[in-house]
Amino acid sequence: MEKELAECLAANRIYRIYEGGITMLRKLFNGRRKVVTVAVAVVALGAFGAWIWAQVGTQTVPLRVTALEAELTSIKVPVNGIWQETGPIKISLSDVPTQLVGQMTPSGPLGERTTARIIWPVSVSAPLLKKLDLEKIDAFLIGVGKRLPYSDSMIGADFTVLRIPSLPLIIVDNYNCVWKCDQGPKGSVEEKSAFWQGKPGAELSSTFNLREAAFQGRDVNALELKREAFEVAKSFFSFPLKDADSFLDKALKLQRENMHEIVVYMPELDSYQTADLSGTVTLRVGP
């Protein structure tokens, strides 16, 4: 696989961007690591899509997640056929090297929309993973965020696919207010304005706190946003779904009913669960 990837990418600039990713593949497949890097294949197979994003013209600016400290409530998963609680799930910013960079279209006045493609590089740990001799799981969640008109709020939807030893394949669907939908993000007016205008180095930080405002209103179409985000994520992941529309519909219904950001779906078992996300995040404009 490494040889084929190298031959495929050597003819253009993508190879230089992802040479480090190929090196990481070698290290990981040499074994003796207790960290499962779920998204290694994403780094390789998604290289072309990420390169396209990086080449977008002056209408967009790079957007990175620079800080992340969050926690998910426990879910149940079958370990070799026996259902067990994961315990509290800790989520932090991954330290896995990557050139995958999100992009945001800057906006001016409050009435203008802002669209962003957001890439969340995350590290996940939980008591159950330790029992499985896994220190952590590194993964990417990939999707879309939109700033609501006449608001400093951004609603986001993103996805990932997890393949963990001893567990069935897991699809994660995350729908959230990157900032409090009806209160706006932390920071001064000047800071928020600089961020939305795409000024390099501008940051915004906030807590995760899903609210009803994320599902209703004339400027909110949650299902449309999820479908758009899913199409972006499909460029990086293979989703083993018989009916993607039914999956998105059901996930959205569960998220709204429970006011939980996360839906965990195991296709082999047709099992849906939700989990509440809490914590803080910081996004920064710039490479």
DSSP string, 43-66: HHHTHHHHHHHHT--TT-EEEEEE
Higher-pLDDT residue of 186 and 166 is 166
Residues 107-141 as b or e (16 or more Cβ within 10 Å = b): beeeeeebbbbbbbbbbbbbebbeebebebbbbbb
Task: Look at residue 52 and tell me whether its pLDDT is greater than 50.
Answer: no
- The token pair at 186 is 């932390």
Q: Residue 101: what pLDDT?
A: 84
Q: Residue 135: what pLDDT?
A: 92
Query: How far is residue 169 from each of residues 122, 161, 164, 205, 268, measured CA to CA in Å?
Result: 18, 7, 7, 32, 7
Amino acid at 55: Q
Q: End-to-end distance of the chain based on CA atoms, in angstroms?
A: 29
Q: Residue 110: what pLDDT?
A: 61
Residue boundaries of the structural domains of the chain: 59-285
Contacts of 70 (CB under 8 A, 6+ apart): 90, 91, 92, 208, 277, 278, 279, 280, 281
- The token pair at 19 is 């040479």
Alpha-carbon span 235 to 272, nearest angstrom: 24
- The token pair at 279 is 């914590």
Place of tokens 């078992």: 269
By the 10 Å C-beta count (0-12 exposed, 13-18 middle, 19+ buried), 257 is classed as exposed
Contacts of 277 (CB under 8 A, 6+ apart): 70, 71, 72, 91, 174, 176, 208, 210, 260, 261, 262
Percent share of the chain, pLDDT over 90: 51
Residue 222 near residue 251 (C-beta atoms within 8 A): no
Task: Look at residue 49 and tell me whether its pLDDT is greater than 70.
Answer: no
Residue 109 DSSP code: S
Encode pLDDT of 214-252 as tens digits. Answer: 887 667 789 999 999 999 999 999 999 999 999 999 999
Alpha-carbon span 74 to 87, nearest angstrom: 5
Range scoring the smallest mean pLDDT among 48-52, 141-145, 169-173, 218-222: 48-52
Higher-pLDDT residue of 3 and 277 is 277
Instruction: Supply the mean pLDDT for the chain.
Output: 79
The DSSP bridge pattern shows strands 35-37 and 136-147 to be parallel
11-20, 44-53, 182-191: which is most confident: 182-191
For residue 283, which of 176, 137, 159 has the smallest C-alpha distance?
A: 176
- The token pair at 124 is 């996940």
Residue 208 near residue 70 (C-beta atoms within 8 A): yes
The mean pLDDT value for 208-212 works out to 86
Query: How far is residue 253 from each of residues 18, 104, 124, 154, measured CA to CA in Å?
Result: 38, 28, 25, 20
